[in-house]
Amino acid sequence: MSERVIVTIQHPAHVHFFRHAIVELRERGYDVRVLVRERKPARELLERYGIDHRRIAGPAGSPLKLLSVQPRYEYEILRRVRRLEPAAIVGIGEPAVAHAGTFADCKGILFTDTEHAALQNAISLPLADRLYTPTAFWDEYGAHHRRYPGYHELAYLHPDRFAPDPAGLAGVGDGGPLVVVRLVSWTAAHDVGRSGLADLERVIAGLERFGATVRVTAEGRLPPTLETRRLAIAPDRIHDLLARADLFLGEGATMAIESALLGTPALYVSGLRAGVLEELEGRYRLLRWLSADVRPVEVLAHAQELLRIRESTWTRRRRRVLEETVDTTDVIVGAVEDAVRDRRSREPAAPVVPEVVRR
C-alpha cells in the first residue's frame, strides 16, 4: 500500500508552489490528496493544471470572515486526517496542518517565508513537526526548523520548471517599455492597517509620458480612468507576462519576487517587509523597496531609473541568484520523503509472515 500525503491549498500562490511536487510525489508512488479552501482563482489553477482536489471550506474574503471560516476548516482537516490516515500533511504557514500533525498520527510539515504573519505563525510554526524556510527568513524556531537557499517561487520558476511562452502576448508592450502594475486587495489577516501605492493615476500618467506601456492587474475595482489599462490574462499565464515585462511595479510581495527571479526588475511599494525581499534587494539588486508613504514623484523617479538599466545587467544578476539557490520543488519532495522515513522508523517492526511478499 502506498503512503498517503495530504497537501493543503488556501491561496493561488500555493497551487504554483506545490503543483510540481504533487506530480513528482505521485510519480514516486505516493497517494497525494489535495484539500482546498474555496477561492476561485486557486480552484481555477488546480483545474487548469489537471490536479484533482476537494473543497472543504468556504471563502474567507476578510479577516472577520476568516474568524468564522477557520474553525470549520480546521475541523474538516482533522476529520479527513483521521479518516485518510496520511503519513504526512503539508501546507504553507497553515495552523490546521500543524494542529492535525499534533493531534493525529502523521507528520505536519509547514513551509513559510512570511515573518509578518505574526498571529498565524505563533499558532502554527512552533507546533509543526518540520518547518522549512528560506535561508533569508529572519526568525528562528528551534530544532525542527530547517533552512534552504532559495525562495518559494523557485518551486515553479526555476529554469528546470519554467520557460516563458511568448504566445498570445504579442503587441502587449510593443509601444515602449512594458510596465506591469499589480494592486492587491489588502484583505488578508496580516494586511490589516496596511496600504501600498497612492495616487496611482498620477504614477501611471508619468510612466506613460516616459514612453511606457502600462498594464494593470488588480484584485478589486479600478478607477474608471484606469480600467482601460486592466489586463485580462489567464491566471496560468501571469508568469509569461512578468518575464516579458521591463518593470514590475506593485504592492504584491509574491509577484515582486516572481518578477525579480525572472530577471524583470521589481519596484515594490508597501509597508510590509520580509527577509526574502531584503535579500533580493541587498544581495542580488533585482528588487527595490519603497515605503507605502512614498510620494508619486519618487515612485516615478525610481521606475525611470530602473527602466534605463540595460537588460544584460538584469540577466547577469538573475544568473547569480540561480547559481546560489536550489529548485524548491526538490526541497518539498525531500521534506515529505524525509518525514515519511522518520515516521516509518518509529513504527514497530512488522511481524515476519512466511510466503507473503510485502511491498
| Mean pLDDT score, 10-26 | 95
- Cα–Cα distance, 220 to 22 (Å, whole number): 31
pLDDT tens for residues 135-181? 999 999 999 999 999 999 999 999 999 999 988 776 676 668 999 99
pLDDT at 166: 82
Q: pLDDT per residue over 236-251, tens digit each?
A: 899 999 999 999 999 8
> What pLDDT digit, counting tens, does each position of 87-124 carry?
999 999 999 999 998 888 899 999 999 999 999 999 99
Q: Residue type at 218?
A: A
User: Distance between CA atoms of 98 and 50, rounded to whole angstroms?
Assistant: 27
Res 112: pLDDT: 98
C-alpha span between 321 and 347 (Å, rounded): 41
Task: Say what the pLDDT of residue 257 is.
Answer: 98
pLDDT of residue 306: 98
Q: Which residue in this structure is represented by grid cell 497537501?
A: 7
Domains parsed from the chain with CATH numbers: 4-160+327-342 (3.40.50.2000), 178-322 (3.40.50.2000)
Give the pLDDT band (50/70/90) at residue 353.
very low
Predicted pLDDT at 232: 80
Q: Is residue 212 predicted with pLDDT exceeding 50?
A: yes
pLDDT at 190 over 60: no
| 291: amino acid identity, one letter | S
Q: Range with the lowest mean pLDDT among 51-60, 71-80, 160-169, 344-353?
A: 344-353
Q: How far apart are CA 155 and CA 161, in angstroms?
A: 8
Q: Residue 110, by phi and psi: left (phi above 0), alpha (psi -120 to 50) or beta? A: beta
Q: How confident is the model at residue 192 (pLDDT cuts 50, 70, 90)?
A: very low
**Per-range mean pLDDT, top range of 62-71, 131-140, 218-227:** 131-140
The pTM of the full predicted model, rounded to 2 decimals, is: 0.89
**Average pLDDT of every residue of the chain:** 88
Burial class of residue 55, CB neighbours in 10 A (0-12, 13-18, 19+): middle
> pLDDT at residue 295 above 60?
yes
Contact 204, 230 (CB under 8 A): no
d(CA 309, CA 28): 45
Residue 19 has pLDDT above 50, yes or no: yes
**Could you tell me the pLDDT band of residue 199, with boundaries at 50, 70 and 90?**
confident
Percentage of the chain exceeding pLDDT 90: 67
What whole-number distance in Å separates Cα of residue 162 and Cα of residue 160? Answer: 6
